[in-house]
Amino acid sequence: MSRGRADNVSWDVLRGRTLGPAPFFVVGILNATPDSFYDGGSACGTEALVDKALHLLDRGADILDIGGESTRPFAEEVPADVELLRVLPVVRGVLRARPDAVLSVDTTKACVARACLEAGAVIVNDVSAMGADPGLMDVVADLKPGYVLMHSQGAPGTMQVAPTYDDVVDEIRAFFSARLEVLVRAGVPEGNVVLDPGIGFGKTLEHNLEILRNIERFFEFGRPVYMGLSNKSLWKGLLGRDGRDRNAPTLAATVALYGRGVRIHRVHEVRETRDGLLVARALAGEGEDGC
């Protein structure tokens, strides 16, 4: 990806595979947890979760992000063995049914990441930026999956207590600069890393809006921006919306951010997002095909 905005996105992931180039990637969220803020417990057991995963793929997900530990504000930590029991059978089940599916594991734990990558996942989505388990650096440097480098101020259990910044955009930019250098020095190829500014992770409503208003400032690193704002609490703060009433503002923001160069979108509502992005492309004269 060239410096600044790019019309298409490519992402190097595990086993020498490159995703794209494509106009965008829609990442479907699959929560294998009983306490997700959006759909916790709605799909219980491996078979139901695999069915839901296949449904998301059929609705147009380019990538599935599978998580076994909730990262909502004030969530409690989950032991590694419990998280692994939730996630690994789903990874295996999805790949049995769809061997070409692109799977991401949403974890901060080295042992969970390694097991899922060895089972066929190709991306690690780490909300802790290696802060929760230093051993994760060895896994990512060794296996070289795609890696989502996300900014958070604090862990999920405490991050929303009193988040403060002098300049939220500048501080996140400095964080990305420093952590990218550490990753590359450890042996993680830069082409494997995408950047998530961490909407809702240790940020107030105003912090979140300031990040989104200045999203282009994160393009300077030459890496794709990965956006996760689906149905988050900023829509309650901005509009007073709860639960699934946040779908419309999520889609509006996603389409607006696509128009400003954000190419990877992690969402709950896959088909609606894909439709919105395809309409945005068509109206901008960028073509009518998908990824």
First to last CA, the chain: 16
Nearest by Cα to 108 from 133, 76, 86:
133
In Å, the largest CA–CA distance within the chain is 49
Q: Strand, helix or coil at 103? A: strand
Q: Quick check: 10 and 17 in contact, CB under 8 A? A: no
Catalytic residue among 223, 232, 246, 263: 232
Length of the chain as a residue count: 291
Nearest by Cα to 111 from 91, 93, 87, 136:
136
Q: Strand, helix or coil at 196? A: strand
For residue 266, indicate whether it is catalytic: yes
Q: Amino acid identity, residue 267?
A: V
Q: Strand, helix or coil at 51? A: helix
Q: Quick check: 185 and 162 in contact, CB under 8 A? A: no
Cα–Cα distances (Å) from 290 to 16, 61, 249, 261, in that order, read 23, 11, 22, 16
Catalytic residue among 144, 246, 266, 274: 266
Q: Amino acid identity, residue 103?
A: L
Which tokens sit at 114?
A: 């390694």
Which tokens sit at 58?
A: 């059929």
Dihedral sign (CA 263, 142, 113, 172): negative
| DSSP code at position 160 | T
| DSSP code at position 166 | S
User: Any long-range contacts for 248-255 (C-beta under 8 Å, 24+ apart)?
Assistant: 251/276, 253/212, 253/229, 254/227, 254/229, 254/230, 255/279, 255/280
Catalytic machinery residues: 232, 266
